[in-house]
């Protein structure tokens, strides 16, 4: 049987580090090194490895992920595995999912434990990602699955996966939706298909988002008794600050502190402002609570309702909408599709 052709694209991250003379871990390994560390890969797939960059994922940018998506869109292969750092994987994988509409598996993986530690997880995660990319069920449902993240033998939808711990090995989860599949021995055990209606709506509105200009979005977390001085700074100095949109990590089902409400409302009149759940995702309320700082009044005042996305993913989506040149009403429709 012919082996599937799998492209491995390496961006950097802990999975690609090696120790310097002081023992500090530095970016260094390329895609060939990662593949060479897992000899069994050659029996599963025809691997073509390419080093795209050697940077920590905390330093990746929107432009780089747009360029990566364009590269993946043009590849003639049976599957793609991207390796990168874990720090922004929940954002980059979601952006790839918004930009790519391919019928081959596209998988992002990484490592929490670096190669100098006992039992690093990078080689196992790369092997699992390639196994998932080669699996017949995954290949048959690739478009329905969208971009996937494989960590510790679990497969997650890019729209749902979150990094839920800064250091431990099992740092990834999809708290709202759970995993799409599990890897057991060498078998992929399917568990679910993701609900992708919102991604389909977003893609239809976004069109070709790749040509647009960087459109910085501020992410502001609203805590107890927040006075809103940063909101005021954006209201008064938007042009100097350069932000084109704002995502508010809001309380509960969509509430903000009452003292900050007038500023939140003024802000929404100046730049597209999305209210997103600081609880970390999950559908928000629309018509339960009254009063000026709750969902009914905020929605009436023109705040865009974030839906089930985590605020980090809402920020990625808003940047992508603004880059694509969408106006406020269309942006609201896109977010609305996320429930
Ligand atoms: N700072 C690293 C990165 O995201 C951490 C990691 O890979 O886990 O690139």
Compute the half-sphere exposure of residue 182: CA atoms within 13 Å on the CB side of its CA: 5
pLDDT at 209 exceeding the cut of 90: no
Atom of ligand 1 nearest to the CA of 56: 9
The reported pLDDT for the residue numbered 208 is 81
Pairing mode, strands 5-10 and 17-19: unpaired
pLDDT at 293 exceeding the cut of 90: yes
Kind plus residue range of the DSSP H or E element containing 318: helix 311-323
In this prediction, residues 5-33 reach a mean pLDDT of: 97
Out of 110, 115, 168, mutate this one to test ligand 1's pocket (max ligand atoms within 8 Å of CB): namely 110
Kind plus residue range of the DSSP H or E element containing 143: helix 142-145
What is the Å distance from ligand 1's center to 83 Cα? Answer: 11
pLDDT at 1 exceeding the cut of 90: no
Pairing mode, strands 106-109 and 148-151: parallel
Give a three-class secondary structure readout of 50-102: EECCCCCHHHCCHHHHHHHHHHHHCCCCCEEEEECCCCCHHHHHHHHHHHCCC
Out of 27, 86, 92, mutate this one to test ligand 1's pocket (max ligand atoms within 8 Å of CB): namely 86
The reported pLDDT for the residue numbered 21 is 96
In this prediction, residues 222-239 reach a mean pLDDT of: 96
Q: How confident is the model at residue 210 (pLDDT cuts 50, 70, 90)?
A: confident
What is the Å distance from ligand 1's center to 150 Cα? Answer: 15
First to last CA, the chain: 44
Enumerate domains of the chain plus CATH numbers: 5-195 (3.40.50.1170), 200-336 (3.40.50.40)
The reported pLDDT for the residue numbered 146 is 98
Give the integer Cα–Cα distance in Å for 187 and 135.
8
Quick one: CA dihedral 100, 82, 278, 264, positive or negative? Answer: negative
Instruction: Please tell me the residue having the least CA distance from ligand 1 atom 1.
Output: 56
The reported pLDDT for the residue numbered 89 is 98
pLDDT at 225 exceeding the cut of 90: yes
In this prediction, residues 82-89 reach a mean pLDDT of: 98
What is the Å distance from ligand 1's center to 132 Cα? Answer: 22
Kindly state the tokens that stand for 21: 């003379």
Atom of ligand 1 nearest to the CA of 14: 7
pLDDT at 98 exceeding the cut of 90: yes
For residue 42, give the DSSP letter.
Answer: H
Give the integer Cα–Cα distance in Å for 54 and 72.
18
In this prediction, residues 35-54 reach a mean pLDDT of: 98
Show the ligand 1 pocket: residues with CB < 6 angstroms.
13-14, 56-58, 85-87, 110, 112
What is the Å distance from ligand 1's center to 256 Cα? Answer: 32
Out of 10, 57, 112, 168, mutate this one to test ligand 1's pocket (max ligand atoms within 8 Å of CB): namely 57
Out of 15, 56, 172, mutate this one to test ligand 1's pocket (max ligand atoms within 8 Å of CB): namely 56
What is the Å distance from ligand 1's center to 292 Cα? Answer: 41
DSSP string of 102-142, one letter each residue: -SS-EEEE--SS-TTSSS-SHHHHHHHHHHHHH-HHHHHTH
pLDDT at 132 exceeding the cut of 80: yes
The reported pLDDT for the residue numbered 177 is 95
The reported pLDDT for the residue numbered 173 is 98
pTM tops 0.85: yes
Instruction: Please tell me the residue having the least CA distance from ligand 1 atom 7.
Output: 85
In this prediction, residues 55-65 reach a mean pLDDT of: 97
Q: How confident is the model at residue 189 (pLDDT cuts 50, 70, 90)?
A: very high
The reported pLDDT for the residue numbered 211 is 78
């Amino acid at each position: 049987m012919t082996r599937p052709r799998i492209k491995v694209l390496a961006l950097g991250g802990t999975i690609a580090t090696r120790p310097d003379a002081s023992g500090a871990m530095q970016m260094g390994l390329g895609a060939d090194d990662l593949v060479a560390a897992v000899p069994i890969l050659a029996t599963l797939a025809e691997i073509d490895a390419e080093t795209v960059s050697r940077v920590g994922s905390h330093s990746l940018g929107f432009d780089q992920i747009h360029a990566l998506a364009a590269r993946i869109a043009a590849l003639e292969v049976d599957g793609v595995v991207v390796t990168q750092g874990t720090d922004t994987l929940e954002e980059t994988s979601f952006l790839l999912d918004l930009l790519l509409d391919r019928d081959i598996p596209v998988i992002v993986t990484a490592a929490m434990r670096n190669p100098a530690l006992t039992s690093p997880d990078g080689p196992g995660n790369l092997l699992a990602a390639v196994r998932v990319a080669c699996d017949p069920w995954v290949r048959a449902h690739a478009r329905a699955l969208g971009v996937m993240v494989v960590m510790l033998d679990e497969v997650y939808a890019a729209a749902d996966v979150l990094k839920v711990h800064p250091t431990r090995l099992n740092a990834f989860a999809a708290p709202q939706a759970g995993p799409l599949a599990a890897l057991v021995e060498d078998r992929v055990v399917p568990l679910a298909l993701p609900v992708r209606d919102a991604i389909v709506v977003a893609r239809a509105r976004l069109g070709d988002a790749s040509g647009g200009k960087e459109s910085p979005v501020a992410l502001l977390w609203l805590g107890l008794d927040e006075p809103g001085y940063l909101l005021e700074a954006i209201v008064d100095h938007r042009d100097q600050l350069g932000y084109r949109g704002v995502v508010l990590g809001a309380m509960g089902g969509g509430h903000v502190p009452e003292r900050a409400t007038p500023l939140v409302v003024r802000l929404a009149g100046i730049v597209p402002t999305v209210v997103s759940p600081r609880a970390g995702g999950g559908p928000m309320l629309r018509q339960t609570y009254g009063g000026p700082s709750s969902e009914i009044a905020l929605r009436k005042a023109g705040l865009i309702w974030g839906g089930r996305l985590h605020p980090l993913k809402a920020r990625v989506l808003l940047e992508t909408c603004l880059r694509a040149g969408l106006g406020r009403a269309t942006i609201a429709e896109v977010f609305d599709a996320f429930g």
